[in-house]
Structure 1
Amino acid sequence: MRAKIMYFVMATVLVGFFVLAGGRGVALIGIGTPLTVTFGIAVLVLPVIGAWFLWQNTRFVQRANRLAAELDAEGGLPVDELVRTASGRVDRASADAVFAARRAETEDTPGDWRCWFRLAVAYRDAGDTPRAREAMRHAITLHGASPATAAE
Structure 2
Amino acid sequence: MSTRIGVAVMAVLLALYIAVAGWRAVQWIQTGEPIAIAMGAALIVLPAIALWALGRELWFGVRAEQLARRLETEGGLPEELVATTASGRPTRAEGDAVFPRYKADVEAHPDDWTAWFRLSLAYDAAGDRRRARSAVREAIRRERASR
Q: Quote the sequence identity (%).
A: 42
Correspondences of 1:1-152 after superposition (within 5 Å)? 1-79=1-79, 81-84=81-84, 90-92=91-93, 94-146=94-146, 149=147
| TM-score (structure 2 length as normaliser) | 0.91
Residue 119 of structure 1 and its aligned partner are, at CA, apart by 0.7
Cα separation, 1, equivalents of 2:39 and 2:46: 11
Question: TM-score, normalized by length of structure 1?
Answer: 0.88
On the 8 A contact 2:28/2:37 being kept in 1, the answer is yes
1: distance between equivalents of 2:76 and 2:134? Answer: 20
Deviation of the 1:122 alpha carbon: 1.4
Q: Retained in 2: the 8 A contact 1:85–1:91?
A: no
Extract unaligned runs of 5+ from structure 1.
none
Paired residues of 2:82 and 2:90 also in contact (CA < 8 A)? no
Query: 2:105·2:115 contact (CA, 8 Å) conserved in 1?
Result: yes
In 1, distance between residues paired with 2:81 and 2:110?
Answer: 22
1:56-111 CA distances to partner (integer Å, 9 max, x unpaired)?
Answer: 0011111111111111110112246443467977243x332211111011111111
1:116 touches 1:136 (CA, 8 Å); kept in 2?
yes
Take 1:83 and 1:130, find their aligned partners in 2: how far apart are those partners?
Answer: 22
* Aligned mates of 1:4, 1:55 — CA distance in 2: 15
Equivalent-residue separation in structure 1 for 2:96 and 2:81 (angstroms): 11
> Which consecutive residues of structure 2, in runs of 5 or more, have no partner in the other structure?
none
The list of structure 1 runs, each at least 4 consecutive aligned residues, that deviate by more than 6 angstroms after superposition, is 85-89
Count of residues paired in the alignment? 146
Secondary structure at 1:11's aligned position in 2? helix
Inter-partner Cα distance in structure 2 for 1:91 and 1:66: 26
Distance (Å, rounded) in 1 between the aligned partners of 2:105 and 2:63:
22
